[in-house]
Structure 1
Amino acid sequence: MRIASLLPSATDLLFDLGLGSSVVAVSHSCDHPGAAGLPVLTRSIVNPDAPQVEIDRAVSEAVQAGRALYQVDGELLDHLAPDLVVTQGVCEVCAVTPGTLETAVRYLPGCLPATQVLSLEGRTFAGILDDLRALARATGVLERGEALARTMQERWENIQPAPGALRVLTLEWVAPPFFGGHWVPEQVERAGGVNVLGQAGSDSGRTSWEEVAALDPDVIVVMCCGYGLRANVEFALTLRNGPELRAVREGQLWAVDANALFSRPALGTVRGAEVLADLLRGQAREGESVQVP
């Protein structure tokens, strides 16, 4: 089977299922080591290296105008002739949606005539495991997928929550501030924290520093979507010169590797909850979390 993955979480899941050799193309955001050198099918219309304020403005303007944030190389996709294309319907800001894919091939007669398109929809931890099973079913390795899902469920349930029920704010963006949604509130609760903004299964959302100050969280975790640990440390450092927040003043400002552990609906979310549990105990994990002074 020839598989084209249009989002990083799908690529991660495919390699977890042992299907890396079947992946023939990926998105520009796919950073799994096994995908290095594969043809790239997508590009973003937004400059990812721009300041966060400019990225937020560009995304907001595109969404309001009804413009897709990503473009798909339909001709290359047609040339590669995959048996399966994996996309997503969770967040139009994060990756290619089925609508964007449809637009890309609309004017290519005969493109993808026998190709299956699978849209992953997981918005909770249970939904992520359902996506894993759906991907395993579509690729003919359902038994392998079921076994992996059971293993990850057991690992999730065996996470030892930190004591103290600290009140936690997760930030998926800092300029302007956005709180974490989807599976992130579940990760916080599983780790032993009390999530102060955002609900499991619901979208991430915009907040204000005034609201953050009023909530007065015990711990703030910076996990800006699309970035690793080093970049999130830099984003967290900007909060030291921002509004007066008790968590920052008391040294309870943390940064984490969002790409690997929090931003993607993939199996890394289990590891993310484990990292959060250690973080709430005051313990950093090298390469995954840092307490920002």
Structure 2
Amino acid sequence: MARACSFLPAATEIVKALGLEASLVGATFECDAPPAVPRIVRSALEGRTLTSGEIDEAVRSAAAAGETLYRIDEPLLREAAPDVIFTQHLCGVCQIGTATAEAAVADWASPPRIVPLVPHTLEEVLACIGTVARELGAPEAGERLLASLRARLAAAAAATEGVPRVEALFLEWIDPLFRAGHWIPDQIAAAGGVDRLAVPGGRSGALSWDDALALDPEAIVVAPCGLTLEQAAAEARASLAGRPGWSGLRAVAAGRVYAADANLFTMPGASLVDGVELLAALFHPKRFPLPERLRGSFVRL
């Protein structure tokens, strides 16, 4: 089995879902990897509890200064001696980029393979699962996992077929407000919903409150990347409830405003299917009962 360093939590999650944790010889400070796996990627924000506004300011300040929030412990990387490094260059805010990983091994006599995982859609996320499995020498594990995930997606689609789609608003960030992008619109669609302010396959971006009011969604889901569920719920209550027109929104009147575990939406791995199942249960509770394992993954606001 190949020795792998995962420079993004999504890759680590995929490796675990494949049952190939033994291949990991390095991970990031955010990865849910076994304790014995060295944390090779570190961050200037590590160990700090910040609000979404404070994180936004830190990111903007670093960008303005031409700096990065992430660094590679290069001696530890050499000691790990990976055969392959999984990276990304989809978002310079969320994780370290491919170019930084390439620079870190440029002078090695036999550098590891650098394998970027840069999906934009749900289908491309599933393709990345196959890529990771093949790179680790276990294509059959990838085929088994993908078959299971596709069966679950098909079950969600079948349960919500023939019913009106729920008009939803998905917020990826709170301060400032960000609409949903990349694969999240696919998740919403797979769960029997539609978000007309989202950007399918594209980058998330700032959202005006006037646009949110004009949409007047039937359901609102808040899942900011990098915040815990408790943080997201507290910030959402403080930030949204006082906005003009909030109490008049259909979602608020119906009690259909939720904070959700961001890992089910912003981390492009097998858990995105959990996110689809959560949304299907929130959008169509009579058609798709909430799986027991997801009961702690959301809070009603």
TM-score by length of 1: 0.90
**Could you tell me how far apart the structure 1 residues matched to 2:151 and 2:65 are?**
44
- The equivalent residue for 1:271 is 274
- Larger mean CA deviation between 269-278 and 235-244 belongs to 235-244
RMSD between aligned residues: 2.0
Confirm or deny: 8 A CA contact 1:222 1:235 kept in the other structure. Answer: no
Confirm or deny: 8 A CA contact 2:221 2:259 kept in the other structure. Answer: yes
Aligned AA (1:223): A
Deviations 1:22-81 (A, max 9, x none): 11111011124xx23421111223465222212112212333444333111112101211
Paired-residue identity, %:
36
Q: CA deviation at 1:249?
A: 4.3
Q: Equivalences for 1:104-123 in 2 at 5 Å?
A: 104-105=104-105, 109-110=107-108, 113-123=110-120
- The equivalent residue for 2:93 is 93
Question: 1:38 and 2:37 equivalent?
Answer: yes
Q: CA deviation at 1:227?
A: 2.7
Q: CA deviation at 1:275?
A: 0.5
Confirm or deny: 8 A CA contact 1:2 1:24 kept in the other structure. Answer: yes
Aligned AA (1:45): A
**Could you tell me how far apart the structure 2 residues matched to 1:230 and 1:115 are?**
39
Q: How many residues align?
A: 286
Which of 115, 128, 132 matches 1:131?
A: 128
Q: Equivalences for 1:86-235 in 2 at 5 Å?
A: 86-105=86-105, 109-110=107-108, 113-159=110-156, 160-161=159-160, 163-235=163-235
Question: 1:288 and 2:297 equivalent?
Answer: yes
Which of 255, 266, 284 matches 1:251?
A: 255
Q: CA deviation at 1:105?
A: 4.3
Confirm or deny: 8 A CA contact 1:9 1:266 kept in the other structure. Answer: yes
Confirm or deny: 8 A CA contact 1:3 1:85 kept in the other structure. Answer: yes
Confirm or deny: 8 A CA contact 1:73 1:104 kept in the other structure. Answer: no
Confirm or deny: 8 A CA contact 2:192 2:284 kept in the other structure. Answer: no
**Could you tell me how far apart the structure 1 residues matched to 2:139 and 2:104 are?**
30
Q: CA deviation at 1:4?
A: 0.9
**Could you tell me how far apart the structure 1 residues matched to 2:38 and 2:138 are?**
24
Confirm or deny: 8 A CA contact 2:261 2:298 kept in the other structure. Answer: yes
Gapped regions of structure 1 (runs ≥ 5): none
SS at match of 2:241: helix
- Larger mean CA deviation between 213-222 and 47-56 belongs to 47-56
**Could you tell me how far apart the structure 1 residues matched to 2:215 and 2:133 are?**
42
Instruction: Report 1 or 2 for greater relative contact order, CA contacts < 8 Å, sequence distance ≥ 6.
Output: 2
Q: CA deviation at 1:196?
A: 2.2
Q: CA deviation at 1:125?
A: 1.2
Aligned AA (1:135): V
- Larger mean CA deviation between 47-56 and 60-69 belongs to 60-69
Deviations 1:195-252 (A, max 9, x none): 1222221111111222211222121101011233222221221222233221334422
Q: CA deviation at 1:278?
A: 0.7
Confirm or deny: 8 A CA contact 2:43 2:70 kept in the other structure. Answer: yes
SS at match of 1:26: strand
Confirm or deny: 8 A CA contact 2:160 2:284 kept in the other structure. Answer: no
Confirm or deny: 8 A CA contact 2:87 2:114 kept in the other structure. Answer: yes
Deviations 1:59-117 (A, max 9, x none): 123334443331111121012111111111221111121112134445xx437x23111
Q: CA deviation at 1:189?
A: 1.0
**Could you tell me how far apart the structure 2 residues matched to 1:62 and 1:127 are?**
30
**Could you tell me how far apart the structure 2 residues matched to 1:214 and 1:206 are?**
16
Confirm or deny: 8 A CA contact 1:176 1:208 kept in the other structure. Answer: no
Aligned AA (2:160): P
SS at match of 1:287: coil
- Larger mean CA deviation between 49-58 and 12-21 belongs to 49-58
